[in-house]
Amino acid sequence: MENVEATVRKGDAFGRATPLLARCDQLIERVDPAHSRFHSTIEVDMTGYEALRESAAWLDLSDRGEIRVGGEDRARLLHAMCTNHIHELRFGDGQYAFFLNAQGRILGDAYVYDLGETLLLDTEPEAAKKIREHLDKYIIADDVTLEDETHQWTTIGLEGPESAAAAAKLNIAIPDRKYCLRNWDNGFVARVASTGPKGFRIFVPTDEKAHLVARLEKAGISNATAAEARVVRLENGIPRYGEDVTERYLVQETQMLHGVHPNKGCYLGQEIVERVRSRAQVHRVLAPIRIRGTEVPQPGTKLTTEGKDVAEITSAAYSPALGEVVGLAYVRTEAAHKKPEMAVAGREPLLSAYIA
């Protein structure tokens, strides 16, 4: 692994120093290049990072997968294939759900939006092709069509504690409920965020992207890079499919039960989900962790207590605002309850960690 590097653009949009920049300057001075088993390249545009944490910023999410599901049997098929209640959706509603295989392992997750005559699945880049092929395999005599519209949509996240005020600058009518949507210009806006509790997701045709970005910039809304968004996401302990959630895990292990309807009826993988629930047998759970230091362990690094492995890191990043490493890890259930002091395996001198 490489040594820690820090690359930080100096100053805010007006060239002024910020508290977080000062914090990063201190970090650069403290980094010990001798610990080569850990790496982190911190590329933080403090304007975007601070805006995402303290006000609002926009994110380019156009690499997300978009699958349009049409046909008379569209809701029936998705209801039988995912973990949440699709039959309950009405025009303008949205829902978050997992797609499982027969063994209950997670193939992907998606936001499901009811656009009236069709449903739109908005999913992570890693899951789009897999979900589409998975659904296609189960279409036999059903009146269902699947269209990959990934390249037909531009998706922009508008997120942060003041994202509602930022949306007002664009004359966006805010959806009143989580996951729901409202039409806007030639697209729509959904009440969904990926980095924290507050935000919206704007969908417009691809050929309107430049115009939308120009409007965001004219409104004085900062752009946050993917790297900045990832740091804020981990500061808030929010998992992402492809990093923290994969086919390796069961639904209950992720602790993301807002994606599962408790009594919707049969769906693929439900038997396993119900068996785990009824027996209350989960041996590990996904939890936010902190590491006291500046060195960022690789995914797969173990955390130990009294010499025994009790957790495995899925993702981590250095947080300039918190002055330590933030991340997510699958933690043994007993350790998740007791929250013992932990140590990063293979690290000398000791690098301590704890469950946030």
Confidence check: pLDDT of 149 > 50: yes
Q: DSSP character for 327?
A: E
Which ranges of the chain does DSSP label H, i.e. alpha helix?
19-30, 46-54, 74-81, 128-137, 163-169, 209-218, 226-235, 251-254, 270-279, 333-338
What is the per-residue pLDDT across 85-103, written as a single tens digit (0 to 9) for each? Answer: 999 999 999 999 999 999 9
CA distance 71 to 69: 7
The whole-number pLDDT of residue 340 equals: 97
Length of the chain: 356
Lowest mean pLDDT among 18-32, 55-69, 110-124, 282-296: 18-32
Confidence check: pLDDT of 38 > 80: no
What is the per-residue pLDDT across 326-353, written as a single tens digit (0 to 9) for each? Answer: 999 999 999 999 999 999 999 888 999 9
CA distance 87 to 82: 11
Across the chain, what does the average pLDDT equal?
Answer: 89
Mean pLDDT to the nearest integer, 17-44? 42
Confidence band for 280, pLDDT divided at 50, 70 and 90? confident
The whole-number pLDDT of residue 20 equals: 54
**Residue that wins the pLDDT comparison between 45 and 107:** 107
**Residue that wins the pLDDT comparison between 44 and 68:** 68
The whole-number pLDDT of residue 3 equals: 35
Determine what percent of the chain is predicted with pLDDT higher than 70: 87
Confidence band for 6, pLDDT divided at 50, 70 and 90? very low
The whole-number pLDDT of residue 258 equals: 96
Highest mean pLDDT among 3-17, 23-37, 107-121: 107-121
Confidence check: pLDDT of 32 > 60: no
The whole-number pLDDT of residue 28 equals: 34
* Domains annotated on the chain, with CATH: 5-43 (no CATH), 57-220+250-282 (3.30.1360.120)
Give percent helix, percent strand, percent coil of the chain, each to the nearest 5.
Answer: 25, 30, 40
User: Dihedral, CA atoms, 24, 312, 127, 40, nearest 10 degrees?
Assistant: 20
What is the per-residue pLDDT across 178-232, written as a single tens digit (0 to 9) for each? Answer: 999 999 999 999 999 999 999 999 999 999 999 999 999 999 999 999 999 999 9
The whole-number pLDDT of residue 47 equals: 83
Confidence check: pLDDT of 8 > 90: no
Q: What are the Cα distances from residue 140, in Å, to 58, 73, 77, 107?
A: 41, 11, 10, 20
Paired tokens of 217: 């910039």
| Side chain identity at residue 204, one-letter code | V
The whole-number pLDDT of residue 321 equals: 96
The whole-number pLDDT of residue 127 equals: 96
**Residue that wins the pLDDT comparison between 17 and 29:** 17
Determine what percent of the chain is predicted with pLDDT higher than 90: 83
The whole-number pLDDT of residue 81 equals: 98
The whole-number pLDDT of residue 265 equals: 87
Mean pLDDT to the nearest integer, 261-279? 93
